[in-house]
Every structure is written in structure tokens, then in C-alpha cells.
Amino acid sequence: MKYLILLMLFSSCAIVHHVQVGDIESKKNYVRMPFEMKVSETGVDFREAGKLAQVVANNQAGNQIKQIADIIALFQMGPMTGNPVFNEKYADGLAKSIYTKCPSGNITGLVMIRETAKYPIVSGEIMKIKGFCLQKKTKRKNKRKS
């Protein structure tokens, strides 16, 4: 059993929940420069914490922790994608921050990925955005070797 718990502690999982792809445009004399931005928030699975504590701790303490986890679960009812987080607004500034990556505003091929990096008890609830910034091609100076 202890080896199983150790195995769990080193396990992780990557889960994709939602993907969206936008229009992709290309222009003459423009180059598509890729950019990527990621925001994440830590999610906590109290039920898993309770189960793990029940296995690891002694009988009385383990049962108490399981009870707390069950009570907490009653306060966290509702549909869930990934683990619950304590700040829902962590991805609100993503659209505005695209401007820092592409000040010209020539943005195309936006891909939005909602994913979870799951570890025992905690998880990273990730919002990733990728896209292309269209930049004008610079003229190359041809250097001839003499």
C-alpha cells in the first residue's frame, strides 16, 4: 500500500478540456511570428486529500480528515472542469495582454486551450493562448562575396 501511495505521489496527468481555433490569415509581404501565453491557477481536490490522509494517517486522525474533506465537498457542489480554484478571474486579462506580444494588433490564428496538469491532490488549471503576429518582411541586403 505504501508503495502504491509513493507511486501516486510521482504520478501526473495532462488533460485537455476545451480547444478553440480562430481564423488564420496570411498576407503578402508579411511573416507570421508565433506567440504563446499561459496563465494558470492551482486547483485543489479535497476529496483526494481526504482519501490519501485516511490511508497515510492513523485510524482516528485519518477518519477525522476524511470527515472534513466530505464536509468541504458539500460546500463545493456544482459542475467542475478540472479541480476547483479559489480565483475565477485569473484568465480575464489574457485578451488585453495579447497586445504586449503583438503591439501592431495584426493577430491571426488564435488557438485557445483549456487544460489541466493533474498531480496528487493539487492541479494546475491552465489557460493557454497561441497565435500569430503578422509582421512586415524586412528587405534583405544581398552581400556578394568577392
Partner 1 sequence: MKVLILISMLFTVSCTHLSSVSQTSIPAKKGKVVKAEVDNNIFFFFNFSNSYLDAINEKLALQCENGKISGILTKHESITYFPIIYHKTRVTAQGYCNE
Partner 2 sequence: MNKILFLLVFILGGCSHSVHLVNIGDFDQKEKFTAGKWVKVETEQTVVLGFKFDTNYVELAHKKLIIECKTGDIQGITTRYSTSHGFFHWTNKINMQGLCLN
Question: For binding to partner 2 (CB under 8 A), which residues are involved?
Answer: 17-18, 20, 22-23, 25, 41, 46, 64, 68, 71-72, 74-88, 90-92, 94-96, 98-99, 103-108, 110, 112, 114, 125, 127, 129, 134
Nearer to partner 2, 14 or 80 (CB): 80
Residue 3: which of partner 1, partner 2, none does it interact with, CB under 5 to 8 A by kind? Answer: none
In the complex, least distance from residue 35 CB atom to partner 1, rounded to whole angstroms: 20
Beta bridge partners of 6: none
Question: All 3 cell numbers of residue 30?
Answer: 508579411
Amino acid letter at 140?
A: R
Residue 121 phi, psi dihedral angles, 5° rounding: 75, -45
Q: Is residue 105 near partner 1 by the rule CB under 8 A?
A: no
Residue 95: which of partner 1, partner 2, none does it interact with, CB under 5 to 8 A by kind? partner 2
Q: In what order do the strands lie in the sheet with 30-44?
A: 13-21, 107-118, 122-136, 30-44
- How far apart CA 146 and CA 141 sit, in angstroms, is 15
